[in-house]
Structure 1
Amino acid sequence: MPAVDVSGEFETIAKLLAPLAHPEWGRGLVDDVAVVPSRPGFDLVLTKDALVEGVHFLPEDPLDTVAQKLLRVNLSDLASKGVEPFGYLLACHWSQRCGWPERQAFAEGLARDQKEFGIHLLGGDTVVTPGPASFSVTLMGWAKAGRVVARNGARPGDAVFVTGQIGDGFLGLKAAQGALTLALERIEALIDHYRRPMPQTAFAEVVRDMATASLDVSDGLIADIGHIAEASGVGIELDMERTPVSLAGQAWLETRVDRQAAFEQLATGGDDYEIAFTAPAADEAALRREAERRHIRLTRVGQVVAGAGVRVRFEGRPVELARAGWTHG
């Protein structure tokens, strides 16, 4: 049963969600629609992701962090396309455990990230379900007309880059499940990354201006780079030992006997929400300057070649992978 009685959909909307609405376009969430004016010279870009309890987050995860992760995985999609976000539609499927305090926590998480990323709620729906809780967001943003960076623009001779660090999503899930033995501060950092990944929104304009192909890393670095290769009709050579890892990831690597297998787990685990992209190799110095200005780590992990698919190497030797990354049912 819920922790407290919840009067219903309208009280949840009026007391928790209406304060998050866009001051003009959201109509205070008292109408059935949101009205977004056109913006001359720009394309309206939309993305949608869902989180399901027991699949994308753990039943014991605090709902404020679930709300933040929900927004951030969508923000990551738009950032990887060079898009500026402005608002979102929200669907909440509250489970029986989602009483008023849990709903309040969820709304507080949304409020924190709305402020951090400059976005507003435009509308949506809330229902109660007898099954596990689930939430989805349709996030909207503006891109200069014709300037959205797709997956299909990679060309032989381009270099392959990734922002941030890879593997903390995989390790963070294990840490949250109590399956890692590391120093407490490392465990806490990994759990925080798993629950609240940080989208690279500050890098969006660099992607827009300099990338030839781009996407965010959600299924795993190798799998997602494979998506670029497939869409672009090219081959990509990936040097797995270049996979950038965090201090916590490095601490975990030091406990592994089989270093190659450990890197493979990090590069295929998914849930990282960094940006993987291709760009002309000649632009590497300029890209690094832009990353440094934004205090973003940038790593060159491979190169685009003629051919098809991803060819993975580890310290110069070809690697046959059991799997490239996460696959959705």
Structure 2
Amino acid sequence: MNATLPNAETLRAALAGLLDGLPPRQAARAVDRLIANYRGTTPTDAPVLRDRSDVAAYAAYRMPATFEAVRSALDALREAAPDWAPATHTDVGGGTGAAGWAVAGAWEGTRTTVLDWSEPALALGRELAELSGAPALRAVEWRRARIGEGPGLAAADLVTVSYVLKELTADTRAALVDAAAAAAQAVVVVEPGTPDGYARVIEARDRLIAAGLTIAAPCPHSAACPIEPGTDWCHFSARVSRSSLHRQVKGGSLPYEDEKFSYVVATRFEAGPVRERVVRKPQIRKGQVLLDLCTRDEALRRSTVTKRHGGLYRAARDVAWGDAWPPPGEQD
């Protein structure tokens, strides 16, 4: 990958430059309110990010985690369709542009439009894009729009909807997913890795399939999810490095955190879903690795890989939660 493309390090540097001098107490108060909204259950009919202090706090609190979650989903899309690249990208409810950063880091030359109803978020997103030094981010179009209302979305190769559905009513969520399906060649939906976040992803997955798209990730198939409703939920984890400001704002001491998220990727073009997906953190025990897998035969299964499996065992010791299984060249 071109070293000039934006990544997590350039995002942290841009955030540090923009937020330098932000009073930590002011940021912490805004973060407390945002956390209450983020964990709440009632959709809002007004922008969550009301002013610059809200937006700055959000950028420090959520933007690195959103970037890593979306980047992970895009990696799965690239794995399923390695020869495909989007020329155009619409980020619905994109706020300060975390998904745009992830797209710019995944493909060169993609033209991104960020839609959001919070003008302060769009303004700060523009500033961050300028600080990035990346031509693709400086060329992003930032457009104010009331999400889920008005005419459908303009045609785009890729539409991302990340951490947005929770803020909408059920009818508006459905309308937004339908609009994304009608507009895009590929749709990526990301939500918090909670039972209710997973439920919203499953609702979106069903609507995308009904609209004629097929599932490219994380599922190995486009049939019904094998998880019995109410018994479990499908989610994954992305490691997020924390800056000193990030630790101040979030009140943590560790240099990292693990962002739990649920997602779905659906396409109108041919893609190659993985044969099986690791859906829980592998359990490494003496002489064996236990893998929980979602499979192409529409089922969940536990695979025990032992030393007698040779290369497959060595691969299992290195496989991560969310990875494809088995690795290329290996047989289960």
Pair in the same fold by TM > 0.5: no
Larger Rg: 1
Question: Looking at both structures, which has the greater relative contact order when contacts are Cα pairs under 8 Å and sequence separation is at least 6?
Answer: 1
TM-score normalised by L of structure 1? 0.30
| TM-score, length of structure 2 as denominator length | 0.30
